[in-house]
Homo-oligomer: A and B are copies of this chain.
Amino acid sequence: MAQIRKAPIDLERSLHEQYARLGRAMANPGRVALLESLCQAERTVEDLASAVGMSFKNTSAQLRELRLAGLVEARRDGTRVHYRVADESVCAFLADLRQLARRRLAEVDRLVRDWIEPPGGLEPMRRAELLERMARDEVVVFDVRPREEYRAGHIPGARCVPLEELDAGLAGLPAEVEVVAYCRGPFCVLAPEAVRVCRARGVRARQLEEGFPEWRWAGLPVAIGAEAAA
């Protein structure tokens, strides 16, 4: 007669070991930074190293860990190796991690409030509103992420204006126009900082709710490639 199988105890242990494997993958700031970077765009080891400020060799070593944890994949192209997240669900998980961090770690909440929270207490612009106002040419949209990430995917019609080039981007702008900036998502400092600077320059500016990944997840249209020459 059928007995209760005894494996369950080992099963739980095995599962917990596997969950911990993923926990371990997120247990190092460098690896988290790599994952975050990869969630925005595929990149080579070299690019990643400079993006996260780690040595080339260490970057390679940590990418190996992420690969063994099944979170990223590599693709060889000539002499370069391009890494990418294995799956959109990895980015979603990272978003969950950020949310939990904000909720449970006071330090994170403080950092976010000081640096990222919508400046001036103004509501971020909703995606639907942005679409409408873009259609009516009422706003100029700035993608303030690094050029590479713009190239990997952006909101159609958005201009590529990395934060460091913001002043140049503002230069030729007609007066009275309103700028809408977006970046990597709710925990990214780029768009809030861009809005702050725009306003300091006397340009009306708001930021889009959340960032580009969320735009894509919402199923809204996405353009790929460099900006057409002006």
Contacts and interface: CB of A to CB of B under 8 A. Distances in A.
A32 B5 CA distance: 23
Contact of A23 (B7, B13, B32, B103): B32
Nearest to A189: B8
23 contacts: A2-B196, A4-B193, A4-B197, A8-B115, A11-B115, A13-B53, A18-B108, A18-B111, A19-B98, A20-B28, A21-B105, A22-B97, A22-B104, A23-B25, A23-B28, A23-B97, A24-B27, A26-B27, A70-B104, A71-B104, A87-B104, A92-B96, A93-B97
Given A16-B36, A23-B97, 18 more contacts: A4-B197, A12-B33, A12-B189, A13-B33, A13-B53, A18-B101, A18-B111, A19-B108, A20-B26, A20-B32, A23-B23, A23-B27, A24-B27, A69-B104, A86-B104, A89-B100, A89-B104, A90-B100
Interface of A: 1-5, 7-9, 11-33, 36, 53, 69-71, 86-87, 89-90, 92-93, 96-101, 103-108, 111, 115, 163-164, 166, 187, 189-190, 193, 196-197, 200-201
